Structure formats: structure tokens, C-alpha cells
Amino acid sequence: DTGVSQDPRHKITKRGQNVTFRCDPISEHNRLYWYRQTLGQGPEFLTYFQNEAQLEKSRLLSDRFSAERPKGSFSTLEIQRTEQGDSAMYLCASSLDGGRSYGYTFGSGTRLTVV
Amino acid sequence: TQLLEQSPQFLSIQEGENLTVYCNSSSVFSSLQWYRQEPGEGPVLLVTVVTGGEVKKLKRLTFQFGDARKDSSLHITAAQPGDTGLYLCAGDNSGNTPLVFGKGTRLSVIA
């Protein structure tokens, strides 16, 4: 297992377009998280899954954002009608049992630029 | 909402110097984790501290969890350019809620 993979690494899109990002977690990990990070800030929680169930969504997550994790494996994060304020690094992480013992393993992120 | 305040926000030092960065909260956490993040990459776990007063060492890095489990510090001895990066602390409430991250301390070690 090569860790958490995110695709694409970079995405430039025009305002109003839809974008979809993919995350492949470590296969043994049952939890998968999405965070967003802007310049000068720490990661902000967006949503997380335990297996295929979406357990929590941040109040920051507008209804333009949707995430899925079919069959409890990879996950996708879709942003509809992108806005310039959506420009950020989108980080995916996975963990075993909430990360208490071994922490979260993060991917390298998808950097989104909305022009 | 639980908040983690990290200080200083930026730190630039010469190679060989010692430094300490802080992570403070008004809330109690069941554990705190420290991560380091390099530009264009995701954060990488350095350590988890669980018990109040706990001290953990990782080579030249020393981590301490406050007695009341509300704060933590990271001390680096004889800093090297390879220590350059964004140091993030993250609080865990119970293992059943997502980690809450601070804004980080951006460290630059100049050779």
C-alpha cells in the first residue's frame, strides 16, 4: 500500500464549473476525511466517513459540496458551481479507529484554483 | 467550537539554535497530535500525546502535553534546515470526532 492517493494534484477551473476530486485511502483504514486548507491556515474539517457511511459534515460545507464513499473504498468530493472562494488545497486523510493511536495519514492534496 | 491557538505564527532562526512552539486551548482534549507539513504536501504525523504531563522525544524534538490536557509544546534542539516546515497541532476529543487543527507555526531554519 503506497499511502493515500489524491487525484488530480492540481485543477484550474472557471467560475461556475463543476469539479470532482478523488481520494484512495489506505485499504485497511475504515475512516476517511476531507479537509480544506487555505494559505496561512491549518486544515479545516469538511466531512468524514466510516466505511461507506457519511457520519459528519461541517457547517462550513455548503450545499454545493457533496461527498461519497461508495462501498467504503475510494471517495469523491464534488463542488458544483465553483466560486473563487473555493480556491484552496483539498486534503484527504484516512485513519484506523479514529486515528487515536496512529494519527491520520494524509494525501498530497488537490490544489484547486477557480478563475 | 474547540479552538487551538498556535504561537508564534512565524519563526525564522539560524541553524543550530533551539526553539519552542506552543499550542493552547481553553478546551480539554483527550489527546493532541503534532504534524509537520512541507509545501505542496499533506501533513505528516510526528507524535501523539495522550496523558497530562506526558513528555515524548523524537530525536531532537521534545513534545509535552500540559497537565490539564489543554496545551502542548514542541521544543527543537539544534535546529537544522531540514526542520523547515509548517508545524500543526491537532486536538482529538474522543476518537469519534474529527481532529481539530490549529493554524500552525511556519518555521524557517537558515543555514
Which grid cell is B27? 478546551
Per-residue pLDDT at A61 exceeds 90: no
Residue A9's pLDDT is 97
* Cell 459534515 sits on residue: A57
- From A33, A42, A48, residue closest to B102, measured CB to CB: A42
Neighbours of A18 (CB within 10 A): 11
**What is d(CA A41, CA A91) in angstroms, rounded to the nearest whole number?**
13
- From A42, A56, A109, residue closest to B42, measured CB to CB: A109
Residue A100's pLDDT is 78
Residue B12's pLDDT is 98
Looking at per-residue pLDDT, the higher value among A80 and A102 belongs to A80
**What is d(CA A64, CA A114) in angstroms, rounded to the nearest whole number?**
15
- Alpha carbon A10 to chain centroid, angstroms: 14
Residue A1's pLDDT is 57
Q: For residue A44, what is the nearest residue in chain B, using CA coordinates?
A: B101
Fill in the DSSP letter of residue A41.
S
Establish if A66 touches chain B: CB-CB under 8 angstroms: no
Over range A59-72, report the average pLDDT: 91
**pLDDT averaged over every residue in chain B:** 94
- Taking the CA atoms of A55, A67, A3 and A86 in sequence, report the sign of the dihedral they define: negative
**What is d(CA A49, CA B93) in angstroms, rounded to the nearest whole number?**
17
- Chain A partners of B42 at a C-beta cutoff of 8 Å? 4, 91, 93, 106-109
Residue B95's pLDDT is 64
CA dihedral of A105, A106, A107, A112, whole degrees rounded to 10? 170
**What is d(CA A46, CA A48) in angstroms, rounded to the nearest whole number?**
7
> Which positions of chain B have pLDDT values less than 70?
1-2, 95
Which grid cell is B22? 506552543
Which residues partner with B72 through β-bridges? B23, B65
Residue B93's pLDDT is 80
Residue A36's pLDDT is 97
Residue A53's pLDDT is 93
Closest CA to A6 of A85, A81, A103, A106: A106
Residue B96's pLDDT is 75
- Chain A partners of B94 at a C-beta cutoff of 8 Å? 98
Residue B11's pLDDT is 97
Residue B1's pLDDT is 61
Predicted confidence (pLDDT) per residue in B8-26, tens digit: 999 999 999 999 999 999 9
Amino acid letter at A29?
Answer: H
Please tell me the distance in Å from A16's CA to the nearest CA on chain B.
25
Spell out the residues 6+ positions from residue A54 whose beta carbon is closer than 8 angstroms to its own. Answer: A47, A48, A67, A68, A69
Predicted confidence (pLDDT) per residue in A10-52, tens digit: 999 999 999 999 999 999 999 999 999 999 899 999 999 999 9
- Alpha carbon B73 to chain centroid, angstroms: 6
